[in-house]
Amino acid sequence: MTASAPEANLLSQPLHLPNGSILRNRLAKAAMSEVLGTYENRPTLKLVELYRRWSVSGIGLLLTGNVMIDRRALGEPGNVVIEDESDLPLLKQWANAATGQGAAIWVQLNHPGKQSTKGLNKSNLAPSAVPFREDMAALFETPREATTDEIEEIIQRFGRSAAICKKAGFSGVQIHGAHGYLINQFLSPHHNRRTDEWGGSAQKRRRFVLAVYAEIRRQVGADFPVGIKLNSADFQRGGFTEEESMATIHALAEAGIDLIEISGGTYEAPAMSGTLQETKKASTVAREAYFLEFAEKVRASTQVPLMVTGGFRSAAAMNTALRSGALDVVGLARLLAIDPDAPAALLRGQDSPQRVRPITTGIKQVDQMGVMEIFWYTLQLKRIANGGDPRPDESGLWAFVKSVMKSGWGTFRTRRLRA
């Protein structure tokens, strides 16, 4: 009796996207907040170094962290903003850091809407003037309702930023439609209480994201990849539901989107940090991926390429998920912040020696906020960008204190520079 041949490592297989472009394998680095821009919101050589380090690992797709489309609407101090061509030379270096090694690099384009800390912007807008929950009101101000003219301008800005990304040599763009930022706010009945053409029904709430996609596609053409990061649900009372997400996915697939990354949660209900995953059933834990069950539902009704991010730990689970056909791309984020060389091992069918662990400060109110873990991982990215290595055992409390101090100083400097 002969032994059966080992199953192929599906992670190493290329993926053909609907527009004809090809990803060299099925591993993607999902977006993480780098905040490695200047306080004038320009890119830096640190981003070039960070993305070069990831690209040499052999990964197929790199998605940048939040790149904002408007200097008046920042999510954090140190965000890169692409609204004109003034930084084109450095943007080209950033793009080439990945493409020169054979990886695709897509810029994640975003507008924070209401999800920006107090004092950073002169004011924050949103679909409706809905405040944050009471325990977060000290950090986030109540936004004002966006006017129709402002909505139209934001749509045009998304398109303009995408066109600049194409000119700079990036491989594609990803629209950030998840995690409580502006597009997610328009989709959510909790945040969007408008009664005009931009709200009042699920179909009208979808109109904004479809308009953003259409404008980007108009400005970049059919051959440039455009993807989106979308919540499976907000996990928030009165928020964006799975049923609404499914309908939005179908609308985007029909419009011609190239790749949909499935995620979930907001700063007020941070599923993306793993906080809500403690209550997941045992079968979900065994399969590792947080949003795989929803991806299976999506796959049953559409063949649009899907990327699932969150929870994956082992090469075996990643291959099992790919073999099921429920997804096409495995997204990794936090693992690549503590082990930037992990893709090289995974593409050999081996696991990374590092394991993502819960990051806590010991302060309950802080640990329940989605931004806490973001602070910790951002520090690790900074170390890699400086040519060093991450510190997987770093204290969560120390990282939080250091990041809050830096964020406060960054907010002050950003406001002074724009005064």
Interior/surface letters 281-315, b for 16+ CB within 10 angstroms, e for the rest: eeebeebbbbbbbbbbebbeeeebbbbbbbbbbeb
pLDDT of residue 278: 43
pLDDT of residue 358: 85
pLDDT tens for residues 50-65? 999 999 999 999 999 9
Query: What secondary structure letter does DSSP report for 136?
Result: G
pLDDT tens for residues 228-255? 999 887 565 667 789 999 999 999 999 9
What are residue 352's phi and psi, to 5 degrees? -70, 145
Q: From the DSSP assignment, how many helices (H) and strands (E) are in the chain?
A: 15, 14
Domain contains 409: no
* Number of separate domains in the chain: 1
Judge whether residue 337 has pLDDT over 70. yes
Domain contains 155: yes
Residue 294 CA: distances (Å) to CA of 129, 143, 177, 241, 299: 31, 31, 17, 11, 9
For residue 147, the enclosing domain spans 10-358
Mean pLDDT of all residues in 265-291: 56
Residue 263 CA: distances (Å) to CA of 138, 196, 260, 325: 27, 28, 10, 18
| Lowest mean pLDDT segment, chosen from 177-191, 261-275, 285-299, 307-321 | 261-275
CA atoms within 13 A on the CB side of 348: 8
Task: Please report, for the domain that includes residue 102, its CATH number.
Answer: 3.20.20.70
Mean pLDDT of all residues in 391-408: 79
Domain contains 331: yes
Domain contains 19: yes
Confidence of residue 275 (pLDDT cuts 50, 70, 90): very low
Judge whether residue 406 has pLDDT over 90. no
Q: Where are the beta strands (DSSP E) in 3-49?
A: 15-16, 22-23, 27-29
pLDDT of residue 119: 92
Higher pLDDT, 19 or 138: 19
Lookup: tokens for 363: 């302060």
pLDDT of residue 370: 61
Domain contains 146: yes
Domain contains 1: no
Confidence of residue 263 (pLDDT cuts 50, 70, 90): confident
pLDDT of residue 81: 98
Domain contains 55: yes
Domain contains 378: no
